[in-house]
Structure formats: C-alpha cells, structure tokens
Amino acid sequence: MFSRAALFIVLLVVASLALAADDAQGIKVNAVVHSVTADKINVSHEMIPELGWPPMTMDLAVAPDVDVGAIPTETPVELELIKGNDGIYQVGGVRAAQ
C-alpha cells in the first residue's frame, strides 16, 4: 500500500509529464486573423481552456519559422500556440480551420 506522501509524489510527477506533453505539442485554437506583420498577428480566438483565456481579440507573436506571408486574413484558421523560451505563448503554426 502506498503512503499518502508517495501517492502525492506520483500524482505530481504525472501532472508534470502531462503539462510537458501539452507544451511540446502546442495548443490548438480556432481563430480569425485580422492583420499580419513581420513578427505578430492580430486575431480573434475562441476560449482557450488550457490557458484559462476567454474569447478575445489580441496580438500574438509569431515564431520565427512561421511564414507570415502565407497566413490568410479574415478567414477561419486553426492556430497552434507554443510556449516560447520566455514562457510566453506564440503562434507556432497556422492552417485552414477544419
């Protein structure tokens, strides 16, 4: 039988692994891109429960390897949000909404 302390540690490890997997995969969210610059986009996105973000319109930084020239505006898209080295989420991918 596990002690309460051992069970608590196991639960912490499992939760940490789940959070690390989410960070590695990215968070998918439906949005509409309103404008695009060299390093950011302005979007209206749905609620993002994983981050506790309500639906809103905001500017998001774009990862350097994302081709901003290929991002459509005023069209539904699916964004992939990834956590940058600074701990702030940025757009790591954009594709047509499903």
* pLDDT reported for residue 98: 82
Residue at 44 is within a domain: yes
Domain span including residue 81: 27-96
In a domain, 77, yes or no: yes
The tally of domains found in the chain comes to 1
pLDDT band at 19 (very low <50, low <70, confident <90, very high): very low
What's the predicted TM-score (pTM) here? 0.73
Q: Is residue 57 part of a domain?
A: yes
- Residue 8 resides in a domain: no
* Assigned domain for 11 exists: no
**Side-by-side strand order, sheet with 27-36:** 56-61, 40-45, 27-36, 76-83, 89-96
Range list of β-strands (E), the chain: 27-36, 40-45, 56-61, 76-83, 89-96
Q: Please indicate, yes or no, if residue 32 is contained in any of the structural domains.
A: yes
Please answer whether residues 94 and 71 qualify as being in contact, where contact means their C-beta atoms are separated by less than 8 angstroms: yes
Rounded CA separation 50/57 (Å): 17
Task: Please report whether residue 9 resides in a domain.
Answer: no
| Structural element, H or E, at residue 8 | helix 4-25
Q: Tell me: the pLDDT tens digits for 46-74?
A: 999 999 999 999 999 999 999 999 999 99
Asked whether residue 35 is assigned to any structural domain, the reply reads yes
Are the C-beta atoms of residues 89 and 27 closer than 8 Å to each other? yes
> Does residue 21 register a pLDDT over 50?
no
Instruction: Output the domain CATH number for residue 57.
Output: 2.40.50.320
Q: What is the mean pLDDT of the chain?
A: 84
Closest by CA to 77, choosing from 95, 92, 60, is 95
